[in-house]
Amino acid sequence: METNANNLRMVNGQIKPINGMTEKLVSIFNSLNRSDFMPEEYKESAYVEKNLTLSNHRIILKPELVAKIAMYIDLKENENVLILGSTTGYLAAILSLIAETVIVVEEDDSYIKSSELVTKENNLNNVIYFNKSISNGCIEQSPFNAIVMEGAVDHVPQKLLNQLENGGRLIAILSENSLCNAKMFTRKETMFHCEQLFPCSLPVLPSFKDKNIFSF
In this prediction the pTM is: 0.93
Instruction: Supply the pLDDT for residue 2.
Output: 58
Which residues of the chain have a pLDDT value below 50? Answer: 212-216
For the chain, the farthest-separated pair of C-alpha atoms sits apart, in whole angstroms, at 51
Q: Are 95 and 81 in contact (CB under 8 A)?
A: yes
Instruction: Supply the pLDDT for residue 210.
Output: 55
Cα separation, 148 vs 161, whole angstroms: 11
Instruction: Supply the pLDDT for residue 177.
Output: 78
Q: Pick the closest to residue 161 from 213, 96, 124 (CA basis).
A: 213
Cα separation, 125 vs 194, whole angstroms: 33
Instruction: Supply the pLDDT for residue 213.
Output: 43
Q: Which domains does the chain have, with CATH numbers?
A: 2-208 (3.40.50.150)
